Amino acid sequence: MSNPMTGSQIVLDCLVQEGVETIFGYPGGAIMPIYDALYDYTKQLKHILTRHEQGAIHMAQGFARASGKTGVVFATSGPGATNLVTGLADAQIDSTPLVCITGQVFAHLLGSDAFQETDIINITSPITKWNYQITDAKEIQETIAKAFYIASSGRKGPVLIDITKNAQIQLIDKNPYTKVDFIRSYRPKPVVRHEIVKKAAALINASKKPFIIWGQGVILGNAEHAFRNFVEKSGIPAASTVLGLGALPTNHPQYVGMLGMHGNYAPNVLTNDCDTLIAIGMRFDDRVTGRLDKYAKQAKIIHLDIDPAEINKNVATTIAVWGDCNETLPLLTAEISEKKYPEWLAKFEELFQEEKKIVIDKEMKPESEHLTMAEVIFEINKATSGKAILVTDVGQHQMVTCRYGSFLNTRSNITSGGLGTMGFGLPAAIGAKFGAPNTTVIGIIGDGGFQMTLQELAVIMQEKLDVKIIILNNSFLGMVRQWQELFNDKRYSEVEILSPNYITLAAAYNIPAQKISKREDLKIGLERLFQSTKGFLLEVIVGKENNVFPMVPQGKSVSEIRLF
C-alpha cells in the first residue's frame, strides 16, 4: 500500500479537509477506534467531551446557529446513538446543519442483537435530511463529503453517518479528498424563474397594505443584507417569526414585532387586514398561523422559500417564488417601486401602543413586589446594548426573551423553535460560545428546562468557558401552568417543581453564582454576571403565576389574540 490508513484515520482526515475544528461527543465501545485515532489529531481537531450525547448534539446545534458552520457530533452505538434522537429531530425541524457520526457493531453482527446494537438508520430516517451506514472503509471519504454537502446546502439539516467497527479499523489506501458540490438527483436549490419574480413585484407594487413576514430562511441563506435592502426600498412593515429574529435589527423603523402565539398584538391582528402578505423563508407554522381557515383570507400571498415542500403545504399561495432568498430577493428588490406606507405603518404603531399600555408597561413596571421575566430581559438589553447572543430553553422565559430581547445582530437569538425541546438551552449556549467565542453568550433558562441537562455545567468547568447563565425561577413548569390556569380551571397537575440550591450546585462546578429575588438587587446581580471573566450563574426568583401575554389561544385565529 502506498499510503495505508485506517478507516478511523480517514474519518478524521475528512473532517480536517472539510474545515472542521470543533467536535462535540462522548466515547464508547463501538466508536473507540475513531477516538483512538483522535489522539493523534488534537492539534487539528478540538473535541469537547460532553456529559451526555443529548448535550453533545444540542451543543453542535448552538455552535451551528451561532457560527453558520456545520456542527459535528460523535457518539457510540446503541444508547449513545439513540441519545441523539431528540437533537436530530430538533435540528431537522429547525433546519440546522449537522453531521453526526455514530459507531456501530461489526458488520457481521448486524441484525444479531449484539451488545449495544441498535438500527439507528431506520430509527433516524424520519428525522434526518439523509443518513447512511458504512460497512467498508472504502466508502468513508465519498460518504462524508456527501454528508457535509447535503447538511449545508439547500434547506439545511442534520445528516447521520453510522460506521461499523470493522470499517473503522480496516486498513486501506487513502485517496485524495474531494469535496462534493453535486449529487445526481439532489437539487438543493432551483434555477430562479425571473418571470415569477416580476409577477410578484407587480403584485407588491399594486398593493395598498402589503405586509412582510419573515423567518429563519433569511439567516440560513445569509441573505440579511439582501433582505434589508428589500425591506427598505419597499417601505413595507415587517414582522419576524421566533427563529427569524435578528435578520433585521429589532430597532429598525419598519420592524413591527414578532408573530405567533405569544407574539406582538399588531402583526398578528393585521395579518388579517393586509391585502398582500409577503412570506420570506418561513413555513407557516401553526404557532404563526393559528386557525388556518381564518388566516389571511383577504390577502394575496407571495411565498419565497427554498423548499418546494413548504409551498402550498399549509397556506395556499397566489405566487410562489421558489429559490434561495439570497438570489430571489435582489431580483425582487430591483423590480419593485420605492414606496412609503405612513398610514399603514401608523396602524401598527396604534396597536402597539395598545399592547404597550395593557401588557408591556405592566410587565416593565409591575405593581407586584415580585420581579417579572420582562424586567430581567429589559435590563439585559441595557447591559449588552442588544449585541449579545441570547440562548433560551423552552417555556415562558423563551417567549418573554423573544418578545422583549433586543436583537441587533443576526444569529443572536438561538432557541428551539419547531420541536420546543426543554433541556436545549444550557448545552446550546455552550455550543454557541464555541461558535462565537468573541461574543457575549447568555443562556436564559427556566428552572424546569435547566434541570434536564444541568450536568453540562461540567463542560463550562472543564473548558473554562465564559458562558453567562440566568435561571428565571418561578418554581413552576410555567408554560404548562399558564395553560392549566387559562384552559383547565387552574387544575395545576404536576407543574410545581422543586429546584436544588443552584448556588451550591454552581459552586460544585467551580462556577461563581448569585441568587436574587428583590428588584433593587437586579442591576447589581447583572453587573456581577457581566463583570465576571469566567462562567457565571445568576438565579432570579420571579413571580410564580405571571402569564405571558398577548396570547393566541389554540384553535383561534390570529386576530382573536388576547391581551389579558
Q: Which residue matches cell numbers 479537509? A: 17
- pLDDT at position 1 is 44
pLDDT 10s digits, 151-179: 999 999 999 999 999 999 999 998 999 99
pLDDT 10s digits, 65-120: 999 999 999 999 999 999 999 999 999 999 999 999 999 999 999 999 999 999 99
Torsions phi, psi for 372 (to 5 deg): -105, 155
Domain positions in the chain are: 4-173, 194-348, 371-541
Asked, colleague to colleague, whether 4-173 and 194-348 share their fold, the answer is: yes
Residues 371-541: name the CATH superfamily. Thiamin diphosphate (ThDP)-binding fold, Pyr/PP domains (3.40.50.970)
Using a cut of 0.85, tell me whether the model's pTM lies above it: yes
Asked if CATH classification 3.40.50.1220 holds for the domain at 194-348, the reply, yes or no, is yes
Find the mean pLDDT for residues 371-375.
96
pLDDT 10s digits, 247-285: 999 999 999 999 999 999 999 999 999 999 999 999 999
pLDDT 10s digits, 37-75: 999 999 999 999 999 999 999 999 999 999 999 999 999
Q: Is the pLDDT of residue 495 over 50?
A: yes
Find the mean pLDDT for residues 137-161.
98
All residues at 6 or more sequence positions from 454 whose CB lies less than 8 Å from its CB, including other chains: 426, 505
All residues at 6 or more sequence positions from 302 whose CB lies less than 8 Å from its CB, including other chains: 200, 203, 204, 276, 277, 278, 279, 317, 318, 319, 320, 321
Find the mean pLDDT for residues 24-36.
98
Q: Is the pLDDT of residue 3 over 80?
A: no
| 304: Cα separation from own chain's centroid | 20
Q: Mean of the per-residue pLDDT values for the chain? A: 97
Residue 428: what residue type? A
* Class of residue 330 by CB neighbours under 10 A (exposed 0-12, middle 13-18, buried 19+): middle
Q: Is the pLDDT of residue 187 over 70?
A: yes
Instruction: Please give the Cα distance from 124 to 99 (Å, whole number).
Output: 13
Find the mean pLDDT for residues 427-435.
98
Q: Is residue 422 helix, strand or coil? A: coil
Residue 550: is the preceding peptide bond cis (ω within 30°)?
yes
Top-level class of domain 4-173: alpha beta
Instruction: Please give the Cα distance from 427 to 71 (Å, whole number).
Output: 13
Find the mean pLDDT for residues 304-319.
96
Give the residue numbers annotated as catalytic, written as ranges.
Answer: 53, 115-116, 165, 479
Q: Is the pLDDT of residue 185 over 70?
A: yes
Tell me which DSSP letter residue 338 carries: P
- pLDDT at position 171 is 97
- pLDDT at position 2 is 64
